[in-house]
């Protein structure tokens, strides 16, 4: 695993060192920071990824507030910068397609209105994809079509691009939160019915900045998160809002600090229920509580809540320090299947206090979930009351 921080360092971690231990502290096996290499990032890291086509991970991509995207080689005990793309703007996120037919283009969402495309083969910025009217916070390549890119922006919009086209013609579709039908002709519609245009400059995906966009593993659906405290699921073939409702638990507050905040999607088959699962770390600028909510993706059914242990409740946790630098602030989530001890799903969360926490799924091995633990505690309390009454009877003199 690779991580990047605000310090601004980049660390490489060997996740296999934990084994079956739960009380384990990982140590980085390689690091780079501005004091160790002249070509390292000089400002906070905004996104990291691993080059998807290496047989074993040997190249990483990172972006930072220094206005650059860097390619670095993973060497024994070291991270070595190889090439720097100068963007002259703030990059918030980047994405590279893992499709075998990939064009080897890196898409970058930046403080500029256009998505930037960087060509790994030439080492140059090829062109931009215009369409947004504000900063682009999140980008994601379609897993099944290597030329299709989705972007999410602070202008409340989500645009789908075909990178084979140039200029404004590259924007081929927008997502409209008011469209639950999509670009198809409903069977019950009259002959005069006309579906909306695929692309509209007026379509809005959220009533607030769209902070994240992700595809499901098969490419059948898109998932977006907005600062209107909504997560939406879209039919990728029609563009229809599927109207999945995740309930009032979701928080994604407005912030003066622009950043990508996207849901984590776990493919079908990696969880016990055998369903596509969505995990969302709640974000509230002034009242983060270290909460991660797990939902069933297609129906929005609440599965469970994960909470960072040891946090004080309410606003007491942020007295005297910035909430952005607390353990309650969760900036990012990643997962991997079949963790180091074969537990199934293993998840990692990055926190504002500079820590990374590991979460493992142990329910298949019989560990009780939150509801079961509450029920067991209630039963124990009732047993204790009955035992106290019984002891009172047998010790009271007649």
Look at phi and psi of residue 19 and say left if phi exceeds 0, alpha if psi is from -120 to 50, else beta.
left
To 10 degrees, the CA torsion angle through 392, 393, 395, 397?
Answer: 120
Taking alpha carbons only, the member of 317, 319, 314, 308 closest to residue 351 is: 308
Going by C-beta distance under 8 Å and a sequence separation of 6 or more, which residues neighbour residue 112? 89, 128, 135, 136
Instruction: Show the low-confidence residues of the chain (pLDDT under 70).
Output: 19-21, 185-191, 193, 271-274, 312-322, 338-344, 362-398
pLDDT tens digits, one per residue of 217-256: 999 999 999 999 999 999 999 999 999 999 999 999 888 7
Integer distance in angstroms from the first to the last C-alpha of the chain?
70
- What would the pLDDT profile of 350-383 be if each residue is shown by its tens digit? 999 999 999 987 654 444 455 555 565 566 666 6
Burial class (CB in 10 A: 0-12, 13-18, 19+), 151: buried
Under DSSP, the state recorded for 205 is: S
Phi, psi at 168, each rounded to 5°: -70, -15
Tell me what the pLDDT averaged over the chain comes to: 87
pLDDT given at position 391: 63
Sheet containing 78-86: order of strands: 45-50, 59-64, 68-75, 78-86
Asked if 31 and 12 touch (Cβ cutoff 8 Å), the reply is yes
Q: Residues 327, 281, 56, CA angle at the centre, nearest 5°?
A: 90
Q: What is the pLDDT of residue 346?
A: 86
Contact indicator for 84, 67 with CB cutoff of 8 Å: no
Closest-CA residue to 340 (of 14, 11, 2): 14
The per-residue pLDDT for 369 is 53
Residues 272, 344: Cα–Cα separation, whole Å: 8
How many CB atoms neighbour CB 261 within 10 A?
A: 24
Residues β-bridged to residue 252? 283
Give rounded-to-5 percent helix, strand, coil for the chain: 10, 35, 50
- Structural domains of the chain ordered from first start: 1-86 (2.40.10), 89-395 (2.130.10.10)
The pLDDT score that the predictor gives to residue 139 is 99
**Which one, of 22, 58, 9, lies nearest residue 346 by Cα?**
22
CA distance 383 to 395: 18
pLDDT at 12: 96
CB 166 within 8 A of CB 195: no
């Amino acid at each position: 695993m690779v991580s990047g921080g605000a310090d601004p360092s980049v660390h490489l971690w060997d996740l296999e060192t934990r084994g079956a231990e739960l009380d384990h502290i990982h140590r980085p096996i390689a690091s780079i920071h501005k004091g160790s290499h002249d070509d390292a990032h000089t400002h906070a890291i905004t996104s990291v990824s691993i080059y998807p086509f290496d047989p074993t991970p040997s190249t990483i991509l990172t972006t930072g507030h220094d206005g650059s995207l860097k390619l670095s080689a993973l060497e024994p005990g070291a991270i070595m910068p190889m090439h720097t793309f100068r963007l002259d703007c703030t990059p918030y996120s980047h994405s590279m397609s893992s499709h075998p037919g990939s064009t080897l283009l890196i898409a970058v969402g930046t403080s500029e209105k256009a998505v930037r495309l960087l060509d790994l083969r030439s080492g140059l910025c090829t062109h931009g994809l215009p369409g947004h009217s504000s900063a682009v916070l999140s980008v994601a390549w379609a897993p099944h079509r290597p030329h299709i890119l989705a972007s999410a922006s602070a202008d409340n919009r989500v645009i789908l691009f075909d990178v084979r086209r140039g200029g404004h013609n590259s924007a081929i579709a927008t997502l409209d939160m008011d469209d639950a039908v999509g670009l198809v002709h409903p069977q019950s519609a009259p002959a005069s019915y006309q579906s909306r245009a695929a692309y509209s400059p007026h379509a809005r995906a959220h009533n607030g900045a769209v902070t994240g966009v992700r595809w499901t593993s098969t490419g059948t659906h898109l998932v977006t998160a907005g600062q209107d405290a909504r997560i939406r699921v879209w039919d990728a073939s029609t563009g229809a809002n599927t109207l999945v409702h995740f309930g009032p638990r979701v928080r994604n507050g407005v912030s003066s600090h622009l950043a990508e905040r996207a849901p984590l999607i776990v493919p079908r088959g990696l969880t016990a229920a055998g369903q596509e699962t969505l995990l969302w770390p709640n974000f509230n600028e002034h009242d983060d509580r270290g909460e991660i909510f797990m939902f069933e993706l297609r129906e929005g059914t609440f599965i469970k809540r994960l909470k960072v242990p040891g946090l004080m409740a309410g606003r007491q946790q942020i007295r005297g320090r910035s909430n952005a630098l607390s353990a309650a602030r969760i900036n990012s989530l990643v997962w991997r299947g079949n963790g180091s001890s074969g537990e199934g799903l293993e998840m990692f969360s990055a926190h504002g206090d500079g820590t990374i926490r590991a979460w493992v799924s142990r329910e298949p091995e019989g560990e009780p979930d939150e509801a079961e633990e509450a029920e067991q505690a209630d039963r124990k309390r009732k047993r204790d009351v009955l035992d106290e009454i019984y002891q009172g009877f047998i010790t009271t003199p007649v």
